[in-house]
């Protein structure tokens, strides 16, 4: 019997329909909207924590950002143009101000990029992803509303890299005069919501910013409250004490709807996978072992059983429409998995666990519970699948979202052998490939491959877009064969939304409050 058969048949039979919310015709001021998050924020200084990116980009604003359709659009910036292969000129929107009234101008942009570079060089902050993607030499002031950024290498998709929350533009006076320990939980930004207060256990209180560049958001007051347990978040929604949560379990959808809560099932470009950490257990350095671990997992069974058929297995390194149509997911084939493990020299020991040169194929696996949809359950199914081919999961540990965020920092320096993870959409092939590029903060499995690096360097510096599809497909095919992760699928996202709230789900699954909250009626 397949290990994945432990999944409840009642969930397997669940039919999920796509739900939608009609925009409320009239929005009235009333009690605050309460958004239930899975963990307390680690910090609200964008350069020190990108863990709560949605909340971060509700308070802060970058030069560019992704709109609700996933398009890169100007934000603080008004325009950008290429001066020469290494230099771009950026015009800043006139008349913008930060929450404290400081002007948003060239001085603020130069200060922000200099601060990021200084922190990164000192090994401080959480900037590995942002500065691993955007490799710039310096930002220069031309006039009050014009800057130039000088790159270390040509970068055809520079604006895509500038949407990262870590590079949100900051007010120079405030962040120069106050120490990091103060500003980390007293942020001043340029986003649609300004910070009011924060107290662990009680929530983060935000208020709509009336001078926001897109106009004052339609929802005046928001409280972001940390509730780690999914069951408790569900109970608060049903009781009417909360308005929004992300990650409704598929099997609870009918019950939640019966209680009067809307459930939106939205397609997502958030790709789920299991990291295979390099440099710890020697087995994971062998491509045959990594391939075997993929063959041993019945992804289709997980997609059907735990996700009600909403998920579709794929080698989801790059999002549509840039994904390689010729790539097929690893088929469930435990016989093939055993064959590859034996070829790699890992043979069954007396207790069934494979051994090589006296070393057991015994791995440690960390999973969150509620950070991703059905994450703990998926981890258990996979552990059972690997056991069936002779791979022991010595310790399957459930950790909090906050601990997970800390372990993801510094290219996953805190990871053990296996850990569940995800990658949001970059909307460019080059950006999505950063998941496995050696310098990128997204490469938390520490996988380094010289052939891929050469392919990526050529692709990332190519300005001729007619060459991009072939280069993109070739890179994806090579990485799929090398299997640096356990491939899964894009995560379907289920939102629980109170009847009084009008909400627009984003394909990246992020809750940018000033963009997704469309209004409230009381």
- Residue pair 206/195 in contact (Cβ under 8 Å)? The answer is yes
Per-residue model confidence (pLDDT) at position 149:
98
Q: pLDDT averaged over the chain?
A: 89
d(CA 377, CA 500): 32
C-alpha distances (whole Å) from 495 to each of 35, 56, 207, 344 are 11, 20, 22, 44
pLDDT above 70: residue 77? yes
Per-residue model confidence (pLDDT) at position 425:
66
Per-residue model confidence (pLDDT) at position 12:
25
Q: Which band of pLDDT confidence, cut at 50, 70 and 90, is reported for residue 422?
A: confident
Q: Which domains does the chain show, CATH number per domain?
A: 17-38+192-263+493-520 (3.40.190.10), 53-183 (3.90.76.10), 269-490 (3.10.105.10)
Which helix (H) or strand (E) covers residue 103, if one does? none
d(CA 110, CA 146): 10
What tokens does 501 get? 């709230």
Q: Which band of pLDDT confidence, cut at 50, 70 and 90, is reported for residue 210?
A: very high
148-185 pLDDT tens trace:
999 999 999 999 999 989 999 999 999 999 988 889 99
**Average pLDDT, stretch 344-355?**
97
- Residue pair 367/398 in contact (Cβ under 8 Å)? The answer is yes
- Residue pair 445/137 in contact (Cβ under 8 Å)? The answer is no
- Token look-up 């710039």 returns 136
Q: Is 463 exposed, middle or buried (0-12, 13-18, 19+ CB in 10 A)?
A: exposed
Treating both helix axes as pointing N-terminal to C-terminal, what angle do 287-295 and 334-343 enclose, rounded to 10 degrees? 160
pLDDT above 50: residue 27? no
pLDDT above 50: residue 319? yes
d(CA 420, CA 490): 13
87-129 pLDDT tens trace:
999 999 999 999 999 999 999 999 999 999 999 999 888 888 8
Per-residue model confidence (pLDDT) at position 209:
98
Q: Is the peptide bond before 321 cis (omega within 30 degrees of 0)?
A: yes
Q: Picking from 89-98, 230-239, 413-422, 473-482, which range would have the lowest pLDDT averaged per residue? A: 413-422
492-509 pLDDT tens trace:
888 999 999 999 988 777
CA angle, 397 then 398 then 403, to 5°: 105
Per-residue model confidence (pLDDT) at position 50:
62
Per-residue model confidence (pLDDT) at position 466:
95
Residue 299 DSSP SS3: helix
Greater pLDDT, 15 or 519? 519
**pTM of structure:** 0.76
- Token look-up 């996988």 returns 447
Q: How far is CA 504 from the centre of its chain?
A: 18
29-66 pLDDT tens trace:
469 999 999 888 888 999 987 656 678 989 999 999 98
- Residue pair 277/486 in contact (Cβ under 8 Å)? The answer is no
E strands along 381-437, which residues? 392-399, 418-423
The rounded percent of the chain whose pLDDT value lies above 70 is 92
Per-residue model confidence (pLDDT) at position 490:
87
The rounded percent of the chain whose pLDDT value lies above 90 is 65
C-alpha distances (whole Å) from 385 to each of 118, 284, 420 are 46, 17, 16
Q: What are phi and psi of 225, to 5 degrees?
A: -115, 130
**Average pLDDT, stretch 426-439?**
86
d(CA 473, CA 126): 31
């Amino acid at each position: 019997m397949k290990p994945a058969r432990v999944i409840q048949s009642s969930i397997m039979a669940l039919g999920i329909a796509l739900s939608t919310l009609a925009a409320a015709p009239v929005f009235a001021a009333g009690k605050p909207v309460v958004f239930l998050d899975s963990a307390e924020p680690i910090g609200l200084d964008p350069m020190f924590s990108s863990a709560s990116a949605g909340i971060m980009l509700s308070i802060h604003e970058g030069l560019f950002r992704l709109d609700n359709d996933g398009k890169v659009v100007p934000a603080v910036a008004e325009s950008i143009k290429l001066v020469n292969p290494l230099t771009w000129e950026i015009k800043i929107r006139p008349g913008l101000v930060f929450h404290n009234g400081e002007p948003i101008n060239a001085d603020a942009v130069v200060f922000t990029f200099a601060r990021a570079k200084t922190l990164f060089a000192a090994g401080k902050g959480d900037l590995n992803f942002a500065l691993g993607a955007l490799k710039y030499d310096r930002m220069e002031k031309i006039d009050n509303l014009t800057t130039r950024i000088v790159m270390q290498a040509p970068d055809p998709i520079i604006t895509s890299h500038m949407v990262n929350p870590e590079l949100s533009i900051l007010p120079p006076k405030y962040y120069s005069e106050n120490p990091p320990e103060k500003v980390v939980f007293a942020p001043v930004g340029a986003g649609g919501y300004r910070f009011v207060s924060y107290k662990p256990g009680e929530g983060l209180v935000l208020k709509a910013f009336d001078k926001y560049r897109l106009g004052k958001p339609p929802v005046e007051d928001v409280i972001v409250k940390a509730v780690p347990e999914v069951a408790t978040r569900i109970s608060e929604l049903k009781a009417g004490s909360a308005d929004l949560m992300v990650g409704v379990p598929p099997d609870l959808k009918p019950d939640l709807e019966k209680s009067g809560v809307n459930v939106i099932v939205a397609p997502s470009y958030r790709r789920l996978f299991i990291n295979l950490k390099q440099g710890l257990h020697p087995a994971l350095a062998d491509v045959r072992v990594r391939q075997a671990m993929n063959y041993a997992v019945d992804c289709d069974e997980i997609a059907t059983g735990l996700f009600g058929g909403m998920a579709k297995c794929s080698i989801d390194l790059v999002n549509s429409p840039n994904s390689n149509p010729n790539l097929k997911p690893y088929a469930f084939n435990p016989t093939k998995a055993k064959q590859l493990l034996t070829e790699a020299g890992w043979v069954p020991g007396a207790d069934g666990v494979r051994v090589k040169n006296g070393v057991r194929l015994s791995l440690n696996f960390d999973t969150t519970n509620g950070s991703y949809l059905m994450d703990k359950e998926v981890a258990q199914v996979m552990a059972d699948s690997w056991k069936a081919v002779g791979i022991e999961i010595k310790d399957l540990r459930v950790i909090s979202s906050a601990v997970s965020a800390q372990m993801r920092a510094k290219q996953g320096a805190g990871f053990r052998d296996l850990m569940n993870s995800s990658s949001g959409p970059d909307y460019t092939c080059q950006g999505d490939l950063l998941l496995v590029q050696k310098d990128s903060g997204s490469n938390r499995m520490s996988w380094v491959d010289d052939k891929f690096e050469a392919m990526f360097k050529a692709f990332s510096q190519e300005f001729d877009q007619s060459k991009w599809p072939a280069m993109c497909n070739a890179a994806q095919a090579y990485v799929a064969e090398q299997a640096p992760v356990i491939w899964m699928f894009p995560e379907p996202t289920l939102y629980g939304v109170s009847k009084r709230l009008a909400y627009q789900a984003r394909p990246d699954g992020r809750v940018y409050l000033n963009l997704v909250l469309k209004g409230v009626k009381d």
